[in-house]
């Protein structure tokens, strides 16, 4: 597909309604610190709209802007900044009255169905839809101010539109989707010129919980993790915090993006197959924790490793790792509500020798290894969390490791602004993080959409290997 051309129609800023939010500072917790130097999180949502650009600008855009402003009354940190002072002062999120987020409206000449397809597409095809975060500012005392969020709305005349967010990793997936669902709910519930219906969030939709005092830190993890940051050369730290997808991925001609769908039938058969293979091969059933997440991640991990074009021949005794995140909300030892605004996830890593992953029992071995880590989290959620920054650095430097991002439980396809549920949702930053993304399915409750970015040749091999596994599992009944 020829690369799309985008024309900027409007560049503006959106803030909470005047005098509705006082200046507020939110400290970072030990859940936040490991994510400070990660690149921006970038997600895109595509919607049908078979009308002209002019019609969209006149009828839909005003309501989207107005409802975003009302939503920011409660999700005000997104209009603020990540403030990073010099040592020994602590980084924090600061909203000052009058702050706003960048909001861009653009028009594209792209063919909408090509952008929302599942088949392999050049990663650059979606780049024109991605907003660039505003440039950070500095104070004379060396304090940095990093804007937290930028939004771009791209119109595809007579076809549809997309909403794409770039944001610093100051919240996790659950908090971000809470914001998106709240914005969509207010948009559905209001019309331009109507009352301040953001208060309706207090009824059928819960308000975000901003109180950071609920995060207890008896082990002093915040200081331990901050030391890791403070020990970096300061200019290097700034570059890490400010990196973005637009300047990380350059001339990436051979990278393609694809989405693979595992429907509910695929997943149920895969679970049964893992159980039967485990029993047939004499594996320890006590180590088996079978869930949609475990079997999906195991299958994708094995397919990715087996599809790798390796030269020279890899060492089969080398340890490969799969990293994933686990949500600490609503656990008895923390009592953190599901509406908590911020990061509230911890990382866990499953480890296996390459020989196990590429062997005949690779998926079962992977499922056992991942399931073991899930059980560890259930027993001790914060085990090893003090090493999370070291682990993240290791994952980023060694190509044989992979990470899982997103979750089908977040319900991306429930984000309806009053024009129907999305035609497609994708996590874009996987192209520079090397992650595999998981999401719910648009048209199959209980199914999983898997997104990944690979070289063109490897993607073709991955697709073939995945298809063969699914056919073998289906024929094993």
| Nearest-angstrom CA–CA distance, 447 and 445 | 5
Please give the positions annotated as active site. 169, 416
Partners of 403 in beta bridges: 323
**CA distances (Å), origin 427, targets 8, 173, 344:** 23, 11, 19
Q: With the C-alpha atoms ordered 231, 235, 241, 243, is the resulting torsion angle positive or negative?
A: negative
Partners of 348 in beta bridges: 324
| Nearest-angstrom CA–CA distance, 150 and 131 | 6
Instruction: Name the helix (H) or strand (E) containing 180.
Output: helix 173-189
CA angle 34, 38, 41 (to 5 degrees): 120
Following DSSP, what letter does each residue of 146-179 receive, concatenated?
A: EE-EEEEEEEETTTEEEEEEEE-TTS-HHHHHHH
Following DSSP, what letter does each residue of 226-283 receive, concatenated?
A: HHHHHTS-HHHHHHHHH--HHHH--S-TTEEEEEEEE-HHHHHHHHHHHHHHHHHTT-
Q: Do 40 and 249 meet the contact criterion of CB atoms below 8 Å apart?
A: no
| Cβ-Cβ contacts under 8 Å for 119 (sequence gap 6 or more) | 258
Burial class (CB in 10 A: 0-12, 13-18, 19+), 231: exposed
CA angle 71, 72, 75 (to 5 degrees): 95
For 85, the 3-state DSSP assignment is coil
**CA distances (Å), origin 65, targets 8, 163, 187, 226:** 16, 12, 9, 37
Match 């004379």 to its residue by tokens. Answer: 140
Q: What are the backbone dihedrals phi and psi of residue 363, each rounded to the nearest 5 degrees, phi first? A: -70, -40
Residue 259 tokens, joined: 């989405």
| Nearest-angstrom CA–CA distance, 167 and 81 | 11
């Amino acid at each position: 597909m020829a690369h799309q051309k985008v024309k900027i129609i409007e560049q503006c800023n959106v803030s909470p309604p005047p005098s509705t939010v006082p200046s507020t500072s939110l400290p970072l917790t030990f859940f936040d610190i490991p994510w400070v130097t990660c690149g921006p999180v970038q997600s895109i949502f595509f919607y049908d709209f078979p009308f002209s650009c002019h019609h969209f600008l006149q009828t839909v855009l005003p309501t989207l802007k107005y409802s975003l402003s009302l939503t920011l009354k409660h999700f005000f940190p997104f209009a603020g900044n990540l403030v990073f002072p010099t040592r020994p002062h602590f980084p924090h999120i600061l909203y000052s009255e009058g702050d706003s987020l960048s909001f861009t409206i653009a028009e594209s000449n792209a063919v909408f169905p090509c952008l929302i397809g599942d088949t392999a597409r050049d990663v650059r095809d979606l780049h024109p839809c991605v907003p660039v975060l505003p440039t950070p500012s500095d104070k004379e005392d060396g304090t940095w101010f990093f804007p937290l969020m930028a939004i771009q709305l791209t119109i595809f005349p007579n076809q549809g539109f997309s909403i794409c967010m770039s944001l610093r990793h100051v919240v996790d997936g659950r908090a971000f989707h809470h914001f998106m669902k709240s914005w969509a709910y207010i948009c559905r519930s209001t019309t331009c010129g109507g009352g301040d219906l953001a208060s309706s969030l207090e009824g059928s939709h819960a308000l975000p919980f901003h109180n950071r005092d609920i995060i207890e830190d008896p082990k002093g993890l915040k200081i331990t993790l901050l030391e890791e940051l403070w020990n970096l050369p300061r200019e290097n730290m700034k570059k890490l915090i400010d990196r973005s997808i637009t300047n990380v991925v350059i001339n990436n001609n051979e990278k393609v993006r694809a989405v693979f769908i595992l429907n509910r039938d695929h997943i149920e058969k895969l679970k049964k197959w893992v159980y039967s293979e485990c029993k047939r091969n004499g594996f320890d059933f006590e180590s088996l924790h079978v869930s949609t997440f475990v079997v999906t991640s195991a299958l994708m991990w094995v397919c990715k490793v087996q599809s790798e074009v390796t030269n020279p021949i890899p060492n089969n005794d080398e340890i490969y790792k799969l990293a994933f995140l686990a949500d600490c909300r609503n656990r008895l030892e923390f009592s953190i509500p599901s509406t908590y605004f911020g990061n509230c996830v911890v990382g866990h890593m499953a480890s296996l020798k390459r020989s196990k992953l590429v062997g005949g029992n690779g998926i079962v071995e992977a499922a056992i290894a991942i399931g073991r880590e899930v059980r560890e989290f259930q027993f001790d959620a914060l085990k090893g969390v003090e090493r999370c920054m070291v682990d993240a650095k290791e994952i980023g430097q060694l190509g044989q490791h992979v990470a899982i991002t997103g979750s089908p439980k977040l319900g991306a396809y429930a984000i309806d602004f009053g024009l129907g549920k999305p035609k497609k949702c994708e996590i874009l930053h996987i192209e520079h993080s090397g992650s595999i993304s998981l999401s719910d399915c648009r048209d199959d409750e209980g199914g999983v959409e898997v997104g990944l970015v690979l070289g063109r040749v490897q993607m073709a091999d991955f697709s073939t290997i995945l298809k063969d596994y699914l056919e073998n599992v289906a024929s094993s009944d």
